[in-house]
Amino acid sequence: MGIVMKNETLKVENVSMRFNLMEKKVDDLKDYVIKFIKRELRYQEFWALRDVSFTLGQGDRLGILGLNGAGKSTLLKIIAGVLKPTEGKVTARGKIVPLLELGAGFDSQYTGAENIYLYGAVLGYSRDFINEKYDEIVKFSELGDFINVPVKNYSSGMKARLGFSIATIVEPEILILDEVLSVGDAKFRKKSEKKIMSMLDKGITVLFVSHSIDQVLRICDKAIILDKGKLVAQGKVKKVCKIYEERMNES
Amino acid sequence: MSRLFDNFNKYRFLLVELIKKDIKLKYRRSYLGILWTLLEPLLTTAVLTFVFGGLLGKGGRTFPVYILSGRLLYSFFAGSTKAAMKSIRKNSGMIKKVYVPKYIYPFSTILSNYVIFLISLVVLFASLFVFDINVTFHILWALVPLLLLLILGVGIGMILATLAVFFRDLEYLWSVFLMIVMYTSAIFYHVDYSSFGEKVWLFNLNPLYLIIMNFRNAVFGTPIDIKALLLTTIYSFGSLIIGIIFFYKQQDKFIMNI
């Protein structure tokens, strides 16, 4: 236990996540003091994840199924390192690239070109690496001369295209996908799917969240089901998808 | 500790990018650009000199330099702490999606303000010649209060950045507090026993005043005040240590509050 075996790329051990939600949101000092004096500062505990464990090896492609509020996004955020779990731990080997809400890290006043450097730095790339890959990123994004225009003048599709191009320029060991297979227009969507498929063929580990069972079946070889924060099923993708369909029909 | 250092090294490029971004965007939309950084303290110093020197008849020939040196340091402190306070909320989009060490936001904000502040010191340097002030080797001592000012800014900035995540209205409180700091920093008056009597010791409670005092000592070629130097060292490093500990203890809760 606790030792990462050679081909294990991701190990999630007994991860639980608790949120302390205030019954009414208090986010200024004035409200806080008033509520404190009136003794109305009540917190409500809410477990978004409860004791979730699984292990992925190199090349495993895991589909994460579950209804809204099942804890899928929380799990992805914990794996990406954005959230720290209340209990348990996550051990990952190698570079994790999260393709979540592409372009969320852009500065709207900055031009596309400047944002390539900024967003690249956020993702942990070095300056030399970005210099080297700059042309490739611009070419893939198909932004052309728009690359020197501030991002605030971009359409949402253009932003997503640029975000996708920057995030996928590295070859990650672990890729986190949150239904981003619909980037931009039909033409770019095909291109981005092709790019993702080529990454998959290189044997990277993938975590894929989707509501579409078809997509999960097409992309993944393993799957888990989350229900109200608990892991209720895991195993081969076909088996788990079947369980999921049955559960859906029951309710 | 070594993990912290590795982490810092990995994100050094991001730190540089964030500092560059702050500075670039600040001047992108103004015609005067960086010139504004030089012009603005000159104009306010002219106003203050006119009011306190001209109308109230205070100060002597070098009074404008006295005012300018105080004002430059104060406006760095006020501007950088205000900006650092907002830095976590401003970058909430990024914080929620990608892992980046969070201290990088208040830290880069203070540093970008510091770079601009250092550029604005050119005005002060020029004024030394205009007002024919005898520059001595003491001026090298100015580096010490300038460094302490940066440390104080980072420390206070981290504390404010943390608090502001939980209390949105802190911005207004801090503005009021900064007003107190400004009036007690002796920007446009002299602190001496004849005007303040026994209460003069109260000025020891204001770290910014003490930093400004030693900075002026260096600029005007008088020896550094050792007691003020010791006090400011304690204030600066004290606030830095408190700021770092407080920030690290609270940072995992940020994401649920922004």
Give mean pLDDT, residues A137-159: 92
Question: What pLDDT does A31 receive?
Answer: 82
B169 to A127: CB separation less than 8 angstroms, yes or no: no
Question: What pLDDT does B78 receive?
Answer: 98
Question: What pLDDT does A180 receive?
Answer: 55
Is residue A1's pLDDT more than 50?
A: no
B96 to A19: CB separation less than 8 angstroms, yes or no: no
B252 to A110: CB separation less than 8 angstroms, yes or no: no
A104 to B25: CB separation less than 8 angstroms, yes or no: no
CA-nearest residue to A82 within chain B is: B99
A124 to B96: CB separation less than 8 angstroms, yes or no: no
CB-closest option in B17, B170, B256 to A29: B170
Over residues A24-59, the pLDDT tens digits come to: 677 788 888 888 888 877 778 889 999 999 999 988
CB-closest option in A27, A30, A104 to B257: A27
Give the total number of structural domains in chain B: 1
Is residue A5's pLDDT more than 60?
A: no
Chain B residues whose beta carbon lies within 8 Å of the beta carbon of residue A84? 252
CA-nearest residue to B20 within chain A is: A118
B255 to A83: CB separation less than 8 angstroms, yes or no: yes
Chain B residues whose beta carbon lies within 8 Å of the beta carbon of residue A109? 25, 28
Look up residue A131 and give its amino acid: N
Domain range for B207: 2-256
A82 to B95: CB separation less than 8 angstroms, yes or no: yes
Over residues A185-196, the pLDDT tens digits come to: 788 888 888 888
Q: Which of A14-18, A181-185, B209-213 has the lowest mean pLDDT?
A: A181-185
Q: Can you tell me the distance from the alpha carbon of B181 to that of A9, in angstroms, rounded to the nearest whole number?
A: 53
A-B interface: how many C-beta pairs under 8 angstroms? 72
ipTM (interface predicted TM): 0.83
Question: What pLDDT does B2 receive?
Answer: 67
Q: What is the DSSP letter of B223?
A: P
Domains of chain A: 8-31+47-95+209-250 (3.40.50.300), 102-173+181-204 (3.40.50.300)
CB-closest option in A32, A81, A118 to B21: A118
Tokens 């909320």 label which residue?
Answer: B89
Contact with chain A for residue B28, Cβ under 8 A:
yes
CB-closest option in B96, B98, B169 to A122: B98
Sequence-distant contacts of B85-93: CB under 8 A, at least 24 apart: B85/B157, B85/B160, B85/B161, B85/B163, B85/B164, B85/B170, B85/B171, B85/B174, B86/B164, B86/B171, B87/B157, B87/B161, B88/B161, B88/B162, B88/B164, B88/B165, B88/B254, B88/B258, B89/B164, B89/B165, B89/B258, B92/B258, B93/A104, B93/A105
Is residue A2's pLDDT more than 50?
A: no
B256 to A20: CB separation less than 8 angstroms, yes or no: yes
* pLDDT by 10s per residue, chain B, length 258: 566 677 778 889 999 999 999 999 888 877 777 888 888 889 988 888 888 887 777 778 889 999 999 999 999 999 999 999 999 999 888 888 888 899 999 999 999 999 999 999 999 999 999 999 988 888 999 999 999 999 999 999 999 999 999 998 999 999 999 999 999 999 988 888 888 888 888 999 999 999 999 999 999 999 999 999 999 999 999 999 999 999 999 998 898 887
Question: What pLDDT does A6 receive?
Answer: 53
Give mean pLDDT, residues A59-71: 89
Contact with chain A for residue B200, Cβ under 8 A:
no
Q: Can you tell me the distance from the alpha carbon of B182 to that of A28, in angstroms, rounded to the nearest whole number?
A: 25
Contact with chain A for residue B11, Cβ under 8 A:
yes
CB-closest option in B21, B166, B256 to A107: B21
Is residue A136 very low, low, confident or very high in pLDDT (cuts 50, 70, 90)?
Answer: very high
Is residue A137's pLDDT more than 80?
A: yes
